Structure 1
């Protein structure tokens, strides 16, 4: 799996495709493809103020959300082996699931079925669900191959390889998820080591899916001059980033990364939406969200993100926990965990009314 900076550069590459000269084609499109609102819902000054507020508010709530699980070390009731942690993680997993189904996938449908695109092939074939399906399968492949690769290279026989005390954990972590399972994993044996590897794969893949959508939605907000749209979107995104961050933070905590890797992942998650907004601000004069190129690129990226998030939420987070020993041995805790999932998914679904 590539390093985090490499993932980010790849995302930026696809986003910049939407800023090609074709992005200005919307000006020559039919009336229904004209971009931007009119009247009181088009105000660059108010929109700029709201976008600056959004950058600060979203960054702050993202940092709070992703860092909250780290405080569990000081709060016994929130430690990963406690019931409360399971319920909080279930709630956050419900938020992530609803993000994929209720926010990302509908956005992709809107883009890829837009009147600004030719009817053939875009409205003749369900590209959103097709790409989301392929994305889910690809995520499964990454999950499977990554685990096989790590087991092959980190273990011999039924136990762990000898620990090389000369290697430095921080150096290993700086090499990315494919190489950061060094000394701390090799100190444990069998099932514990395999579970730790699993947590690390999940944390990395989940962050990638979240980041793709975060940059896309940030870019769209930054390029918009519509205060009527931006105002409710700020509140919705803060809610979204807070609880989605809690879900990701829980995965990072269980992965037991060192401090440098944790800090990298926290900043990476917290900064992607604000960075997307800043990019949209800087490129608002050349970026048109209704240009054919932008619609296709954003629509396909959202479809990929939807498939990845839905797979991760259902398989790596919910199924993994609900089929695990802790919830299977307690019907009461399992029931409360389902309530938490429904509350998280319901709250995030309600946000779809505004965002």
Structure 2
């Protein structure tokens, strides 16, 4: 291990190579992030693209694997490295903070969802609306929409396709509130975890000396991560007033990493990713994001897609195996990218 006197724990005087290409990376990463995130959303809303249902199935399960691998390989592992940096002293060197922060994030997300669900259920009961669990309704809607697309490419997202509901406008509105709130909360939590990570990626790419290698890896990283997020956004079934929320979510994701690159270039002369302050900030954010994505990936995606999903429970062995293979492929590719970034 290097002696502490040899460490660069404060501001540095960087000589940033490939400056023109680093500036160009802002627009390349913007484009690839937007394509990955927006494609599932636009393809599902579009009547003329007519993307086969199987493509959405693949993207959904592949994206679930990407999210889980991102949590373990691209967030929790760097969080360990950053919060055990030799530049840190005092309380930071007395405890393994990365898993502790990730654990606290898991429980924080769980408590938010628990209280939100209980408050929402009580609110709906006070309005005289009886409802199943939000995740069950979400899955019923996704399955109904999938079958609707098989028979009618121009099928619109109508709440009347959910089983057991009449076409009464007031009832349909209540149903939309019931099913929409848990979906919005779940995807908002997912995006919250992804965005923090994307800021750190942008800052690092702006000043890292191994720019070319990192740039190539991050292009694929952002596209695959965007695909995972965009697929979840595409399956939101929202009231008409919130129909643009998925597009806004995709645009926010696409902008964050380029903004991080621009900020990194602005402080490129003195920014040191290995400094004590940078290590603490990035370590806390990475560990928090890891906990958020672990909860989302394991509970919201794996458990609800495979274990508590009535459609998957009655599906053929071939379909289940296909879904698992897609998920493992997404996790494997994202884990492999962690070899270089």
Q: CA deviation at 1:34?
A: 5.6
Deviations 1:323-344 (A, max 9, x none): 2122211122111111011100
- For residues 138-196 of structure 1, the C-alpha deviation after alignment (integer angstroms, 9 at most, x for no partner) is 01112222223333445523348xxxxxxxxxxxxxxxxxxxxxxx9962556x75443
RMSD (CA atoms): 2.6
C-alpha change, 1:238 and 1:35, in structure 2 (3 Å) is farther
What's the counterpart of residue 329 of structure 1? Answer: 314
* Correspondent of 1:198 among 179, 182, 188: 182
Counterpart position of 1:23: none
Partner Cα distance (2:91, 2:218) in 1: 32
Residue 272 of structure 2 aligns with which residue? 288
| 2:320 corresponds to 1:320 | no
Q: Does structure 2 retain, via aligned residues, the 8 Å contact 1:35–1:289?
A: no
Shift of 1:83: 4.5
TM-score by length of 1: 0.75
Q: Would you say 1:125 and 2:110 are equivalent positions?
A: no
- What do the CA deviations read for 1:230-256 (whole angstroms, capped 9, x no partner)? 212222222122122122112222223
Distance in 1, Cα, partners of 2:171 & 2:187: 19
Question: Aligned partners of 1:92 and 1:85: how far apart in 2?
Answer: 10
- The residue aligned with 1:158 is 129
**Residue-by-residue CA offset, 1:29-56 (whole Å, 9 max, x unaligned):** 6213368999xxx75241x223223211
Show the counterpart of 1:5: none
Q: Which residue pairs with 2:29 in the alignment?
A: 58
Could you report, residue by residue, the CA deviation over 1:285-335 in whole angstroms, capped at 9, with x for unpaired residues? 343222212211111111000110111111111211112122211122111
Aligned to 1:261: 245
Give 1:104's aligned residue.
75
The count of corresponding residues between Structure 1 and Structure 2 is 292
Say yes or no: does 1:244 pair with 2:214.
no
Partner residue in 1 for 2:65 = 94
Decide which of 26, 33, 36 is 2:8's aligned counterpart: 33
Please list the CA deviations of residues 53-96 of structure 1 after superposition, one character each: whole Å capped at 9, or x if unmatched: 32111111111111111203435554xxx454233211011011
Partner in structure 1 of residue 111 of structure 2: 141
Gaps of 5+ in 2: 132-168
Gaps of at least 5 residues in structure 1 are 1-28, 161-183
Query: 3-state DSSP class of the match of 1:255?
Result: coil
Contact 1:93 1:247 in 2 (8 A): yes
Whole-Å Cα distance in 1 between the matches of residues 214 and 178 of structure 2?
Answer: 40
